[in-house]
Structure 1
């Protein structure tokens, strides 16, 4: 599902996907594409930065432990990079998400057949562990 700005090719919007160029089991397979669960948007530079997962807050699955936290985490990486100028820290976030994807530590929305998906908190914990390990 694409936003109106994406369909119109908004040149000022930065988009980050944790599955681009990824050898991840979650990204591999026939017809695979970046799930909205791992895509984040950054609006063009203005006085106020807006960073959000492309899927919004997903209230329909709130509290079920199946929401993919990766886009929200990648949104923080965009904030670090574009608003705070913390490029090394942003790269650490990106690398941690990439490590989790490559390891197949994913939620049901992007888990390939045969791979047991993790809960929202388990995926979040995996990203934190990857950050702490210095990936």
Structure 2
């Protein structure tokens, strides 16, 4: 059992998934590190953020991560469509990598992370967007 826990923890840290999401009550200025390293949950803002991959040896996933966050922020967005587009955009970056197979693996880790762990982030983003729009 401890081995399984360690495997899940390692998956979460390497894929950018945090199992517990925190909802912000009021909009706050985004920490600079979230703009520099957009891949991963916004709740990880400290030095641990540097452990989250932003791509793979030439394949840069940062723009895909930014667009995925923006998709979640659109009122009424289809979460699953946002997640599928995220995967497609990351996979499109993979041929640029020196190690395309590893890049595809990381892209799929990120996708599985948002598919199974992104529900809270999507709901929080929807609530915040509605609040900011006055709805």
Length-normalised TM-score, structure 2: 0.30
More helix by share: 2
Structure showing greater relative contact order (alpha-carbon pairs closer than 8 Å, 6 or more residues apart): 2
Q: Which has the higher strand share?
A: 1
When the two structures are superposed, what TM-score results if normalisation uses the length of structure 1? 0.30
